[in-house]
Amino acid sequence: MAAADPGRPSIGAVRDNQRLDEAALNRWFRAHVADPAEPLLLSQFNRGASNPTYLITAGDAPGAQRWVLRKKPPGTLLASAHQVDREYRVMAALGSIGFPVPTMRAFCDDAAVIGTAFYVMDFLEGRIFRDARLPGMPAAERAAIYDDLNATLARLHQVDVNAIGLADYGRPGNYFQRQIDRWIKQYRGAETEAIPAMERLMAELPPRLLALAATGDEVGIAHGDYRLENVMFHPTEPRIIAVLDWELSTLGHPLADIAYGCILYHSESESWGTLRGIDLAASGIPDEAAYVAAYCRRTGRASIPGFNVYLAFSMFRLASIGQGVFKRNLMGIGNAPASADNTHTKHLAATACAILDR
């Protein structure tokens, strides 16, 4: 996999602050996953700000077997964050019905092995698009990629959780109230300075979400971080072969996922994803209204009342997550150097306030 290819994952040496006991991992791997004759080689994916992710390769010959290891990060963690056990469980369940996820191989909750809980899954060869604008592609291919992104989300939200053993994967109902409480708590736990826009959102979102909940509730699998960068497409076809990064998934309201995906239309973050600076009509990428309308058609909805509130909440939640990443980087235990200014969190919060007012 060439790092220069924007559709292929970028992989490098294991970072100094995220090294593992490779001898202990080797022993565990051979006992619980596979025991190849070749030595196991460890490298690290260069993306992933939350849970460190590694590539395990059996030898260095072409066609060598490969697996992916995903673990909690080191250091003191915020409550209910980095739940790799939940990632493993939901992907194993969805894989049983043919939903596009990697094959799960083993989960380890013994922190004595490499310092934290972790799991191993099969490596898949495919494309992950870091730039949501999909530069260099024909408009028809961009349209097909976004259409399958939309269709796969609609398919997820129609999964029967009881049939795949996930009826207890979260508390059914009252999702947005529980989520706003959680992310306020998470934000306060990672707070490094006063951000007025975040204070406004924490005051205004709870009553507005409660008013929407009073009109009706729904329960399904909510991915929690569903966007273009977190799915893998077939190497040559505009078809999703794996939905990844399930750390934030739970039983929840499906409208949280479609609203979260629409942050892309308002984001200015090159690292998270943005559609800034392109002509959507010429690009083949649907605009926000068309993307939401396609999801509504696929899920049998006429419209989504209160969509701006759901979108503002999604931006607040992402800002809270970003605040946690920012603080970990400040502490020297994150995946990136410490930044002098928390620009991402501040921009998201300000934009969320503007959306509440539109």
Q: How many CB atoms lie within 10 A of CB 207?
A: 8
**HSE-up (13 A, CA, CB side) for residue 187:** 24
d(CA 153, CA 254): 9
CA proximity to 115, closest of 151, 152, 71, 62: 71
- Sequence-distant (≥ 6) Cβ neighbours of residue 287 within 8 angstroms: 265, 280, 281
Per residue in 230-271, pLDDT tens? 999 999 999 999 999 998 899 999 999 999 999 999 999 888
d(CA 268, CA 351): 10
d(CA 288, CA 273): 15
How large is the C-alpha radius of gyration of the chain? 20
DSSP string, 80-107: T---HHHHHHHHHHHHTTT-S-PPEEEE
Phi, psi (degrees; rounded to nearest 5) at 303: -170, -175
Question: Would you write out the chain's pLDDT as a tens digit for each of its 358 residues?
Answer: 333 355 666 788 988 888 999 999 999 999 999 999 999 999 998 865 578 999 999 988 888 999 999 998 875 554 555 689 999 999 999 999 999 999 999 999 999 999 999 999 999 999 999 999 999 999 999 999 999 999 999 999 999 999 999 999 998 888 999 999 999 999 999 988 999 999 999 999 999 999 998 887 789 999 999 999 999 999 999 999 999 999 889 999 999 999 999 999 999 988 889 998 899 999 999 999 999 999 999 999 999 999 999 999 999 999 998 898 888 888 887 666 667 678 889 999 999 999 999 8
Per residue in 162-218, pLDDT tens? 999 999 999 888 899 999 999 999 999 998 899 999 999 999 999 999 999 888 778
Where along the chain do its domains lie? 11-122, 139-357
Q: What is the DSSP letter of 266?
A: T
DSSP string, 206-265: HHHHHHHHTT----EEE-SS-SGGGEEE-SSSS-EEEE---TT-EEE-THHHHHHHGGGG
Class of 139-357 per CATH? alpha beta
Q: Which homologous superfamily is 11-122 in?
A: Phosphorylase Kinase; domain 1 (3.30.200.20)
